A and B are shown apart, each in its own frame.
Chain A
Amino acid sequence: MSELTLERGLAAFRAEIDAPTAAFFSSCVHCGVCAQSCPFYLETGDPKYTPILKLEPLRLIWEAEFTLWGRIKGLLGLQEKVTDAMLAEWEELLYDSCSMCGRCSMVCPVGNDLAYMIRKSREGMVQAGHAPEGLINASIRAVTTGSPMGLQWKTLAVQIKHVEASTGLEVPVDKTGAEYLVMLSSMEVINFPEYLEAITKIFDHAGVTWTLSTQCFEATNAGIQIGNKDIAAQLVERVVAAAETLKVSKVISPECGHAFTAIRWEGPNLIGRPYPFRVFHIVEVLDELRATGRIQTEGKEDDRLSMHDPCNLARKSGVIQQQRNLIDLVAEDFVDMNEHGRFQWCCGAGGGVSSNERAEELKMAAFKRKKAQIEEVAPERMVTMCATCRTQLEEGLEEYNMDIPVIGLTEMIADHLVEKPRAAAEHDAEA
């Protein structure tokens, strides 16, 4: 029976090295500025969490096998080797203390995209058998049950019934030819059922045709978080198959950061072909509806609101202005954090850290950076658009006894929809 070995790990590291990786490692001057962008270092003060240090195994393989000098050093017996013990030591650095937020990639003076290389390093770690237990479990559940939390359609079916009862609207399921296929995340289904109700209302209000798929409802991708292409590709294939079955032209990624990265940016490359449909984050879709006048809102929230940009959505996907357009529609007193958008700070839970139980302490330490940011602008409530971020914010704020509720942006929009202009809106749209 096959097993994960160091050799397979080294081969996977090797296979990941490309021109950008080589350019990045060639350029690092050990200035340490990346540490100043990493919440895990800043909030623990432990220099081993310096981002570039986390990449040492990948760098060693690059140096030994991809450079002239490394080859010469190898012949002289001077080249350091990557060992199983080293990878075991680095497991904490590559998983527990990195949310792949990509902030270091934005500040590195020589332009190294460190998050890109963390993602690559995890490929090697999985093949070498050095992934954290929490992420292994999530991956196994995702592949075997379709959801990293083991959630099944029947649970969702119950939710759908509730939504239909409370709104009096139909939640379309398996509707071939709808414009949008709506994907969900298990966390939303369990923790934030308001989301499904909100989009049901908004799409009804805007006259959008959409559907859920019983074949696949889960957009999150444990394979991306653990860092394995095989699992990630399997999970993406399920989404693609569902979309192709229902012949939709657009797929909507839910309020979840890494799910968007998985199906929007990595998906086509994992399956090795372009999609026959386009992928949008729900925030992008809502902003598009707003821009074309298909969302009519009334009333505004009058308390002081601030917003947390999910890393995967803002810095790593360029969705930054859209959520601000939407919040301006429904909030009177919105204040941005000092560093937001592409320079926002991670909540600390991304990149699989939240699925990695043993990283709990580090995760809460990293949150202190976000907490400080929140304290700076002192909002009464926080708005965000990622279920993982939202959970982390809620847990973190509670941990520090800060009475600041966190709400999803989509729900907030749904709460302000104009009640009866539906016929008119449809009329406008048709006109």
Chain B
Amino acid sequence: MANLKTPDKTLGEGLREIGLSRRGFLKFCAATASMMALPPNLVPAIAAALEQARRPSVIWLSFQECTGCTESLTRSHSPSVENLILDLVSLDYHHTLQAAAGEAAEEARLQAMEANRGQYLVIVDGSIPGPDANPGYSTVAGHSNYDILMETVEHAAAVIAVGTCAAFGGLPQAKPNPTGAMSVMDLVHDKPVINVSGCPPIPMVITGVLAHYLTFGRLPELDAYRRPMAFYGQSIHDRCYRRPFYDKGLFAESFDDAGAKLGWCLYRLGCKGPTTYNACATMRWNSGTSWPVESGHPCLGCSEPGFWDDAGFYEPVSVPIGVTSKTLIEGAAVGAVAGAGIAALARKAKKEAVANRQPVTIDELEQKL
């Protein structure tokens, strides 16, 4: 982390320098394409682009978070490629990983910002107590998260919000949101913000986004929640290998019934796959070993806004939130009172009509002839 200036060497030159053969480079590109969820026929284009790419400076800010996102990234199990990607960025500031501490650490951040003004990337994990919240809920070196964020992003090229907390507020923002937590995109409006949501995000997705930036020098195509389409373009449900069981109407109804053992759809056990957009079904976890649904557990929907405040992890998608028959009963009670009121009015009017009724007489009828 000594060299804070972005080197002038291209990525291709750098890789060649560390002794990577052209076949090795090709393999690296194939793995990168896979990681970016791009089709293999783009490998030559990726190779050409990576050949010319330059190493960016990255500042990683951690706010109200659990370090799960960093853990996810650093404990990923195909280190050679992802490490290569990480080695190819200049990670100039990261609380958990940097050797420097105290004022030296903050100095490193300011230096990196100064040296790469307008070009560095900011990665944020964790949500931020908003400008109106008590800043004391989360500070670094006596500065509020909000101030640090705003100061750091001011001259950034782009901001990548890693993890659901940074992307959407996540767990800290769950009701009743005591810290007034906000997401990065709630606060940063004048810089490109990319959300890499998930609790945590799939490590390959984090590096995939970096690789994309590295490869093409620009941000990937984003969805309505500013998530890269390549990873968040399709729902878990649409890519789930258990989907055919949903279509046939075959559901596990408890975690140990015959349906569960046969690998049937987990919709009824609360799977949020239908409303969740992420790449788990294809990228999988733990080096492609498995993913929640494959292990027999419903998707929690961790990459979606408000996932913590949805009806409950084991409530199916169709179940309303916080609604019980109590609402019905209370409504019915009010209705009974209202109905009785209307009926009383009507009965009173009816009674009056009967009491004041004038019998029809022959004379009256005759007048009408």
Q: Tell me the bound Cα distance from A66 to B353 in angstroms.
A: 14
B367 within 8 A of A: yes
| From A3, A12, A65, contact of B364 by CB (8 A) | A3
B357 close to A12 (CB less than 8 A) = yes
Beta-carbon contact of B368 and A129 below 8 Å: yes
- Say how far B64's CB is from chain A's closest CB, in angstroms: 47
Q: Note all chain A residues with C-beta closer than 8 A to B364.
A: 2-4, 129
The proximity string for B residues 325-369 relative to A, scoring 1 for CB distances below 8 Å and 0 otherwise, is 000000000000011001101100110111011111111111111
Taken together as a complex, chains A and B put the C-alpha atoms of A131 and B366 apart, in Å, by 11
**Which has the most chain A C-beta neighbours within 10 Å: B356, B358, B360, B365?**
B360
With an 8 A cutoff between CB atoms, is A137 at the interface?
yes
Residues from chain A with Cβ under 8 Å of B358 in the complex = 2, 8, 127
Q: Taking A14-B349, A66-B342, A127-B360 as contacts, is the C-beta distance between A139 and B365 under 8 angstroms?
A: yes
Cross-interface CB contact of A3 among B352, B357, B367, cutoff 8 Å: B367
Other-chain contact of B368, A4, A66, A71, A143 (Cβ < 8 Å)? A4
Taken together as a complex, chains A and B put the C-alpha atoms of A44 and B114 apart, in Å, by 92
The answer to whether A17 touches B350 (Cβ under 8 A) is yes
Q: Chain B residue with minimal CB distance to A127? A: B360
B342 and A140 contacting across the interface, CB-CB below 8 Å: no
> CA–CA, A371 to B349, complex, Å?
46
CA A126 – CA B365 in complex, angstroms?
A: 8
Question: Which residues in B have their C-beta under 8 angstroms from that of A67?
Answer: 342
Is there an interface contact between B354 and A136, defined as CB atoms closer than 8 Å? no
Contacts of A137 in B (CB 8 A): 369
Please measure, in the bound complex, the distance between the C-alpha atom of A131 and the C-alpha atom of B367, giving whole angstroms: 12
Residues in chain B near residue A127, CB distance under 8 A? 358, 360
Interface pair B369/A136, CB less than 8 Å apart: yes
User: Taking CB as reference atom, which chain B residue is nearest A227?
Assistant: B360
Which residues A127-158 have CB closer than 8 A to chain B? 127, 129, 131, 133, 136-137, 139-140, 143-144
Question: How far is A68 from B360 in the complex, measured between Cα atoms in Å?
Answer: 32
Q: Chain A contacts of B339 at CB under 8 A?
A: 68
The smallest beta-carbon distance between A226 and chain B, in angstroms, is 8
Taken together as a complex, chains A and B put the C-alpha atoms of A140 and B361 apart, in Å, by: 9
Bound Cα distance A279, B367 (Å)? 36
Q: Is the CB of B349 within 8 A of A65?
A: yes
Interface of B is mostly: helix
Bound-state CA distance A4–B350 (Å) is 19
Cβ 8 A contact of B362, one of A12, A65, A129, A140: A140
- A68-B338, A68-B339, A127-B360 known; A15-B365 Cβ under 8 A: no
* Complex alpha-carbon distance, A15 and B342, angstroms: 15
Complex contacts, A12 vs chain B, CB 8 Å: 353, 357
**Cβ contacts under 8 Å, A68 to chain B:** 338-339, 342
Quick one: CB contact mask for A1-29 with B, threshold 8 Å, 1 for yes?
11110001001101101000000000000
Q: Please give the number of chain B residues whose Cβ is less than 8 angstroms from any Cβ of chain A in the complex.
A: 25
Q: Which residue of B lies closest to A13 (CB)?
A: B353
| Chain A interface SS verdict (over half) | helix
Look across to chain B and name the residue whose beta carbon is closest to the beta carbon of A123. Answer: B360
CB distance from A368 to the nearest CB of B (A): 31
The docked-state distance in angstroms from the alpha carbon of A230 to that of B354 is 12
Q: How far is the CA of A144 from the CA of B363 in the complex (A)?
A: 11
A127, B350: Cα distance in complex, Å: 15
Identify which of A2, A65, A140 contacts B346 (C-beta below 8 A): A65
Residues of B within 8 A of A133 (CB): 368-369
Q: Is the CB of A66 within 8 A of B360?
A: no
- Write out the residue numbers on chain A whose beta carbons fall within 8 Å of the beta carbon of B342: 66-68, 71
The answer to whether residues A1 and B363 also contact, given A8-B358, A11-B356 and a CB cut-off of 8 A, is yes
Q: Is A50 an interface residue (CB 8 A)?
A: no
Flag whether A163 is at the interface (Cβ < 8 A). no
The CB with the most chain A CB atoms within 10 A, among B342, B362, B367, is that of B362
Contact: B369 with A15, CB < 8 Å? no
CA–CA, A259 to B121, complex, Å?
Answer: 96
Residues of chain A lying within 8 A (CB to CB) of residue B359: 230
| A15→B368 contact, CB < 8 A | no
Whether B346 contacts A66 by the Cβ 8 Å rule is yes
CA of A126 to CA of B356, assembled, Å: 16
Q: Mark interface residues in A223-257 (1 if CB within 8 Å of B CB, else 0).
A: 00000101100000000000000000000000000
Q: Are A15 and B360 in contact (CB under 8 A)?
A: no
The distance in angstroms between the C-alpha atoms of A139 and B363, with both chains bound, is: 11
Once the chains bind, are A15 and B350 in contact (CB under 8 Å)? yes
When the two chains form their complex, are residues B362 and A15 in contact, meaning their CB atoms are under 8 A apart?
Answer: no
Q: Whole-angstrom distance from the CB of B164 to the nearest CB of chain A?
A: 44
Contact, CB under 8 Å: A15 / B363: no
User: Could you tell me if A2 and B357 are in contact, using CB atoms closer than 8 angstroms?
Assistant: no
Contact across chains for A126 and B369 when beta carbons are under 8 A apart: no
Determine which of B345, B349, B360 lies in contact with A231 in the assembled complex, contact meaning CB atoms within 8 Å: B360
Report whether B360 and A4 are in contact in the complex, using a CB–CB cutoff of 8 Å. Answer: yes
* B365 to chain A: closest residue by CB: A136
A4 and B44 CA atoms in complex are apart in Å by 96
- Residues from chain A with Cβ under 8 Å of B350 in the complex: 14-15, 17
Per-position contact with A for B187-217: 1 when CB-CB < 8 Å, else 0?
0000000000000000000000000000000
**CB distance B360 to A230 under 8 Å?**
yes
B353 in contact with A14 (CB, 8 Å): yes
**Nearest CB of A to B126, in Å:** 50
A11 to B346, CA, bound (A): 12
B354 to chain A, nearest CB (A): 5
How many whole Å from A95's CB to the nearest CB in chain B? 13
CB distance from A374 to the nearest CB of B (A): 37
Q: How far is the CA of A71 from the CA of B341 in the complex (A)?
A: 11
Alpha-carbon separation in the docked complex, A67 to B369 (Å): 36
Min C-beta distance of B94 to chain A, whole Å: 62
Residues on A with C-beta less than 8 A from B345 are 65, 71
Q: Which residues of A contact B361 (CB under 8 A)?
A: 2, 230
Closest to A126 in B: B360
Instruction: Give B366 Cβ to nearest chain A Cβ, in Å.
Output: 6
- B134 CB to nearest A CB, Å: 45
Other than A12-B353, A129-B368, A131-B365, give 6 A-B pairs with Cβ distance below 8 A. A2-B358, A4-B365, A12-B357, A14-B353, A17-B346, A144-B362
20 contacts between A and B (CB under 8 A): A2-B358, A2-B363, A3-B367, A4-B364, A4-B368, A11-B356, A12-B353, A15-B354, A17-B350, A66-B346, A71-B342, A71-B345, A136-B365, A136-B366, A136-B368, A143-B362, A144-B362, A230-B359, A230-B360, A231-B360
B residues with a Cβ closer than 8 A to A are 338-339, 342-343, 345-346, 349-350, 352-354, 356-369
Interface residues of A, Cβ cutoff 8 Å to B: 1-4, 8, 11-12, 14-15, 17, 65-68, 71, 126-127, 129, 131, 133, 136-137, 139-140, 143-144, 228, 230-231
7 closest cross-chain pairs (CB), A and B: A230-B359, A11-B353, A15-B353, A66-B346, A14-B353, A136-B365, A230-B360
